[in-house]
Amino acid sequence: MKKTGLINSSISAAIAGMGHTDSITVCDSGLPIHENVQRIDLALVKGVPTFIETVEAVLLELKVEEIVVAEEFETASPVVYERLLEAVEKLNGAVKITKLAHEDFKTLTASSKAIIRTGEFTPYANVILKSGVVF
């Protein structure tokens, strides 16, 4: 049994299998998930678990060099957007931030190794985390 870090075996395995520039998506409860991408569904009820809690847990184990968000996220949900940026900087340091139109963001999620669905009900609370290297 693991002593530290993520105890969700599906998320832990997805991260362990990632290489440089591979991506994993953390999303709200409404983002469509492509059939060809591993779905890790954590959603229990509205708000459980939250998007930020899930991102923070993932960032404990994943080195990130870039995040990708929908352009609409910052204006539609500014509080959660700022909390995302704070979490990324606190747990990972400075990273590149790429903003795409929401439709383009949804298309890009098809290349993720996995999509982690949360119970979040905040509009546009979705992020693609691109893996960096630890050396």
Listed by start position, the domains of the chain span: 22-131
**Residue 126 assigned as binding residue:** yes
Share of the chain above pLDDT 90, in %: 92
> Averaged over 47-76, what is the pLDDT?
97
pLDDT at 52: 98
Going through the chain in order, the beta strands assigned E by DSSP cover 23-27, 38-41, 64-70, 96-100, 114-117, 127-131
**Residue 125 assigned as binding residue:** yes
For the chain, give the mean pLDDT: 96
Which of these is catalytic: 5, 16, 20, 60? 20
The pTM of this model reads 0.96
Q: What does CATH list as the number for 22-131? A: 3.40.1650.10
What is the pairing mode between strands 23-27 and 127-131? Answer: antiparallel
pLDDT at 123: 97
pLDDT digits (tens, 9 = 90+) for 94-127: 899 999 999 999 999 999 999 999 999 999 999 9
pLDDT digits (tens, 9 = 90+) for 24-37: 999 999 999 999 99
Q: Which of 134, 131, 135 is nearest to 17 (CA)?
A: 131
Q: Is 34 noted as a catalytic residue in this protein?
A: no
pLDDT at residue 1 greater than cutoff 80: no
Q: How confident is the model at residue 5 (pLDDT cuts 50, 70, 90)?
A: confident
